[in-house]
């Protein structure tokens, strides 16, 4: 079954072309306004990011600092995850997601927060993979966005 929510599936149009699937996308609804949803996503990321989606594991601390998203372990080791490439504007911000922490091997990530009735729709779109083998490596190493956003939704008080 084809789904934008699975790393296991590839875009059939790309089969045999040396290109990874075009896009990973996921969304959740949280029972907060867009401003609070944004703050929970960015300022509170260390409270909700799933430990199984980190490099260092238990005791890790993800954090946005000076336009970059880092993970730091209890010993002070740091791993660069992403660099903010477009400051928040109209409920959206963009990052260069770094493959294995290397800013020269990045893909594109956009996170948006839009009002939807009494909730906020939080959407993640991850694309811009490199060509060939590196692109597949980036795609396979990308976070499991549905799992990440499910953890965020629980943190923000959303239903399972």
What confidence tens digit (pLDDT) does each residue in 67-100 have?
Answer: 999 999 999 999 999 999 998 888 999 999 998 8
> With pLDDT > 90 as the criterion, what percentage of the chain qualifies?
70
The rounded distance, in Å, linking the Cα atoms of 133 and 74 is 33
pTM score: 0.86
Which CATH number is 21-53+85-155 given?
Answer: 3.30.530.20
CB 74 within 8 A of CB 57: no
3-state secondary structure at position 84: strand
The rounded distance, in Å, linking the Cα atoms of 142 and 135 is 11
Tokens representing 57?
């594991």
3-state secondary structure at position 14: helix
Task: Tell me the per-residue pLDDT of 130-148, one tens digit each, with 9 for 90 and over.
Answer: 988 888 888 888 999 999 9
- Closest-CA residue to 23 (of 47, 39, 7, 44): 7
Output the DSSP codes for 102-158. Answer: EEEEEEEEEEEEEEETTEEEEEEEEE-PPSHHHHHHHHHHS--HHHHHHHHHHHTT-
């Amino acid at each position: 079954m084809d789904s934008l929510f699975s790393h296991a599936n590839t875009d059939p149009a790309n089969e045999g072309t040396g290109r990874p699937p075009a896009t990973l996308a996921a969304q959740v609804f949280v029972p907060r306004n867009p401003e609070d949803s944004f703050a929970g996503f960015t300022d509170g990321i260390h409270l909700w990011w799933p430990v199984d989606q980190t490099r260092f594991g238990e005791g890790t601390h993800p954090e946005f600092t000076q336009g970059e998203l880092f993970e730091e372990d209890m010993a002070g080791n740091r791993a660069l995850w992403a660099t903010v490439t477009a400051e928040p504007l109209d409920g959206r911000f963009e990052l260069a997601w770094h493959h294995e922490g290397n800013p020269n091997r990045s893909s594109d990530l956009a996170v948006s927060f839009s009002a939807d009735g009494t909730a906020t729709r939080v959407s993640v779109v991850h694309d811009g993979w490199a060509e060939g083998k590196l692109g597949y490596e980036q795609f396979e190493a990308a976070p499991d966005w549905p799992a990440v956003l499910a953890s965020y939704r629980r943190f923000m008080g959303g239903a399972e």
